[in-house]
Amino acid sequence: MIEQEALSDERRQEERVAKNRFLRFTRLEDLQADVPYREGDLLDISGGGLCFLAEELLPLGSQLVMVLEFPGWHAVADGKWIATKVEEDVGVLQVIGMVSWVAVSRTKPDRYETGVCFSGMVTV
């Protein structure tokens, strides 16, 4: 059974930005088992989390490691980013988050909209 937590605009603390990009993700426990990263379609992202389309139903509470790439951006010291607007510059962001809600997509019924709250950032 799919559960969805109702999110109202009043509960959001960060503005969401629509993005049409891919992301790679894996469950935290799959890292040690060398399970390959899977791909999803990033629907939107904010400072507190993101929403993406997944081909599989991910259990609520799952911890995910996600890798996002942003062409035209470059990461600099202290976790700050600058916009270079040069397509070859690709800022890579690795974050950890928890699946907080899942719903069957209205536009793609064979996929699942997956809401994730960020819980940390991976630095390399």
| CA-closest candidate to residue 122, choices 20, 24, 10 | 24
Selection from 118, 46, 62 nearest residue 54 by Cα: 62
Q: Which residue's structure tokens are 């630095």? A: 123
Residue-wise pLDDT for 103-117, tens only, equals: 999 999 999 999 999
For 3-18, what is each residue's pLDDT tens digit?
444 444 445 555 545 4
- Structural domains in the chain, sorted by start: 17-122 (2.40.10.220)
**Cα distance between residue 42 and residue 48, in whole Å:** 14
pLDDT of residue 66: 96
| Rounded Cα distance, 111 and 52, in Å | 10
